[in-house]
Amino acid sequence: MHAINKYSLFNVSKKLCGCFKYASHFVYHPEQISNKFGKTNKKNMYQAINEAMDLVLSKDSNSVVFGEDVGFGGVFRCTSGLRDRYGKDRVFNTPLCEQGIIGFGIGLAVAGTTAIAEIQFADYMFPAFDQLVNEAAKYRYRSGNLFDCGKLTVRTPCSAVGHGALYHSQSPESFYAHSPGLKIVIPRGAHKAKGLLLSCIRDPNPCIFFEPKMMYRLAVDDVPDDDYEFPLGKADVLIKGRDITLIGWGTQVHVLLEVAEIANKDFGISCEVIDLVTILPWDKQTVANSVKKTGRVIVSHEAPLTGGFGAEIAASIQEECFLYLESPIRRVTGYDTPFPHVFEQFYLPNKWKCLQAVKELVNY
């Protein structure tokens, strides 16, 4: 029997972990932009988000940024350098208390302050659920439009990251989509993130801005240096197609873009790819127009199947497009389990699962 060097095994293990730790389940598709917004520079998503907040803080003297560790730059560095530039009275840390962070933000917004709150992980926003859905979402309605907290924006990292397991990988957007009065936005990359965050901050309604954390450094775009915004509630048709519609948001958009490329190259299937962009309110008209054209549709998201926002989209398509459908509506999603650690790659709705669904629906 050969002796086994435990240190050699440890080193091999470290190398293997290094190979997979940063591996993503998708290929990022950089944004193709025009020069309509002026000069651009290469920036990743966390830099674009930082730049958006920097612009707001510089232009609006009544704006503040707060949350756990934001004074130090935050765990993902999105607020890096802001306290140095604007002072600890405008960029400051809070206690580790999510319901306190959101309640404080609501109070600031009602008093007229532009409040940009950070919840360190979307998984930990549930203690603030009551503040968001019973206070922030209803403030305008309950006061007969006398008062509102529309100046509140809540930023939070979400979705898979490669090693986050059950408490740092969830996609909880559908929980908050059931709350009229909120707006819910998920960007697909750096260019969209900056413009959408600026739109959220300036929108007259409280917004939750979910940031797919895997793209903080992976998503690199030509991002305009100047101030710009994107409309909320408007989906983007990224690829036009004729055979099947693929709908996603956040990270999953890039999975679907790759699926569309493979389906066209290997099987001659023309896919139309839609980034929903805004979960609430969502762009029903763009989706309906696409499905009426293609007759087939897949909705894909990382969140579990049951109660995921894909179910709402599927129900609306069934109501609006039933006579145009050539096959059943298909959802390709995460499983109805807690988000796993070592089995993350099996859990995620990757390109192969989505491609299989495309082939099955086209051949239905």
Q: What is the pLDDT of residue 22?
A: 44
Contact 329, 318 (CB under 8 A): yes
In terms of C-beta density within 10 A (0-12 exposed, 13-18 middle, 19 or more buried), how is residue 129 classed? middle
Q: What is the pLDDT of residue 245?
A: 98
Mind giving me the DSSP string for 50-111? HHHHHHHHHH-TTEEEEETTGGGT-TTSTTTTHHHHH-TTTEEE--S-HHHHHHHHHHHHHT
DSSP character at residue 167: G
Contact 272, 239 (CB under 8 A): yes
53: left (phi over 0), alpha (psi -120 to 50) or beta: alpha
In terms of C-beta density within 10 A (0-12 exposed, 13-18 middle, 19 or more buried), how is residue 234 classed? middle
Q: How many CB atoms lie within 10 A of CB 268?
A: 9
The pLDDT profile of the chain, 364 residues, written as one tens digit per residue, is 344 343 333 343 333 333 334 457 889 999 987 778 889 999 999 999 999 999 999 999 999 999 999 999 999 999 999 999 999 999 999 999 999 999 999 999 999 999 999 999 999 999 999 999 999 999 999 999 999 999 999 999 999 998 899 999 999 999 999 999 999 999 999 999 999 999 999 999 999 999 999 999 999 999 999 999 999 999 999 999 999 999 999 999 999 999 999 999 999 999 999 999 999 999 999 999 999 999 999 999 999 999 999 999 999 999 999 999 999 999 999 999 999 999 999 999 999 999 999 999 999 9
Q: CA 91 → CA 70, 72, 102, 167, distances in Å?
A: 7, 9, 15, 26
Record the tokens describing residue 332, joined without a space.
């390709």
Place of tokens 């920097």: 54
Q: Please give the Cα distance from 193 to 173 (Å, whole number).
A: 17
DSSP H helical segments within the chain, as ranges?
6-21, 45-59, 82-86, 98-110, 129-130, 139-142, 173-176, 190-202, 215-218, 252-267, 284-294, 309-321, 344-347, 351-362
Contact 278, 232 (CB under 8 A): yes
**Parallel, antiparallel, or unpaired for β 297-304 and 220-224?**
unpaired
Q: Please give the Cα distance from 168 to 95 (Å, whole number).
A: 19
For residue 259, give the 3-state DSSP assignment: helix
Residues annotated catalytic, as ranges: 98, 168
The torsion angles phi and psi of 15, rounded to 5 degrees, stand at -65, -40
Q: Please give the Cα distance from 206 to 11 (Å, whole number).
A: 49
Q: Give the type of residue at 117.
A: A
Record the tokens describing residue 108, joined without a space.
């600031």
Q: What is the pLDDT of residue 291?
A: 98
Q: How many CB atoms lie within 10 A of CB 211?
A: 25
Q: Please give the Cα distance from 313 to 287 (Å, whole number).
A: 9
Record the tokens describing residue 141, joined without a space.
């309605």
